[in-house]
Amino acid sequence: MRYVDFVNPNYQPGETDVVCTFHVEPRGISLKEAAGGVAAESSIGTWTELTTVKPYVQKLAATVFSLEGDTAKIAYPIELFELGNMPNILSSIQGNVFGLRTLENLRLNDIQFPTQLLKSFKGPKYGVDGIRRLLRVYNRPLIGTIIKPKLGLRTTDHAKVAYDAWVGGCDIVKDDENLSSQNFNPFEKRVMATLESRDRAEEETGEKKIYMVNVTAETNEMLRRSQLVLDHNGEYVMVDILTCGFAALQTLREQDMNLVIHAHRAGHGAFTKDPRHGVSMRVVAKAARTVGVDQLHVGTVVGKMFETREEVQENCDAVTQEMAGLKRVLPVASGGLHPALVPALMEFFGLDFAIQAGGGIHGHRDGTVAGAKAMRQAVDATLVGVSLEEHSKEHHELETAMQMWGQIA
């Protein structure tokens, strides 16, 4: 079979097909041949005709069924994949094709998993509704922070900053993506000390508080750390899903621990940022949801991240729209956020999302407690339709935040 033999505009994808949408830029060949090459090299074909192709093999061929502009849609028979094996699925679809010499650029923009494949995975254990029940917060965005500086705080200081954030009004405190078990802040001591701070904050505020500890590590160590979190009455873990890999993520989810899985997307920009080459965040989001994360960073629209409004909306849709009964994943907005941005965030995301602000809380000139109060005040004002400028007249912490990052001189 030649590359062009994998193109059939009359083909209608079946209900069990995996359907992928690619941006394709050929190099020295036609678009039809280039798209056919992607279908061939990610299913049963290669650069030359083969003598080993049997009739039953031909039924496994991927098919390019749509070519519009630089967009190709390809249907893959489900028989090409092992059910319940995300590394296998992604290795097939986004494997060697990205290295083909005949392609100037290639980007996997979207993927649609059939119901049969989706049901072979556990999916989210908690999702949006489970998270809200756990935190007992139902009518507003969740408010969180990341311990800053990213690296450098000793265990005692880490736990103190977490406590300050919680008593100031944060629901959530999480580790940053590169905090693991460094000698100045070893994992076990951090878990115990910070969860003790959580307990004190809950007693003082009467509110549920959450600590997302980063358990990212070699898979067996990640499981051990997750169990340690459980043993100390923790309820959340955070995983850098791309650097530890979907196999490790799936292994953790398969344990079915009573832990919410917060998915950090550290490293995604290496292959999601270029609109012409790589893999879109929407694809990553769908794969992560399928495997079973409960919440995921999706971009911010405002703040310091590069994604456009359209891209962030696509990411949100990927984790919240209907997918064969999988629970909705909670979108997390993080990256350069502060209280003055809250109205814009809530206008875009609505109520079902988490605001994760690091510098926008700890950078408050009056300290972390004041920074957390300012963020909570900004959310409260936006919920009732009061402008932040008006609300800040009677809330000093918000007023200071607006002077630092907003419009008040």
pTM: 0.94
In angstroms, how far is CA 148 from the centroid of its own chain?
21
- Residue 238's DSSP bridge partners are 214, 262
The architecture CATH gives domain 3-118: 2-Layer Sandwich (3.30)
State phi, psi for 77 to the nearest 5 degrees: -60, 140
264 counts as catalytic: yes
> Tell me, what's the pLDDT at 142?
98
pLDDT digits (tens, 9 = 90+) for 107-118: 999 999 999 999
Kindly name the residue from 32, 148, 174, 297 that is annotated as catalytic: 148
> Tell me, what's the pLDDT at 138?
95
**Do 6 and 44 form a contact (C-beta atoms < 8 A)?**
no
* C-beta neighbour count of 359 within 10 angstroms: 18
State phi, psi for 121 to the nearest 5 degrees: -115, 160
> Tell me, what's the pLDDT at 409?
39
> Tell me, what's the pLDDT at 8?
96
> Tell me, what's the pLDDT at 406?
83
Domain boundaries, the chain: 3-118, 127-405
Kindly name the residue from 264, 268, 338, 364 that is annotated as catalytic: 264
* Domain 127-405 is found in CATH 3.20.20.110: yes
Nearest to 161 by CA among 404, 370, 374: 370
Low-confidence ranges of the chain (pLDDT < 70): 407-409
148 counts as catalytic: yes
> Tell me, what's the pLDDT at 303?
73
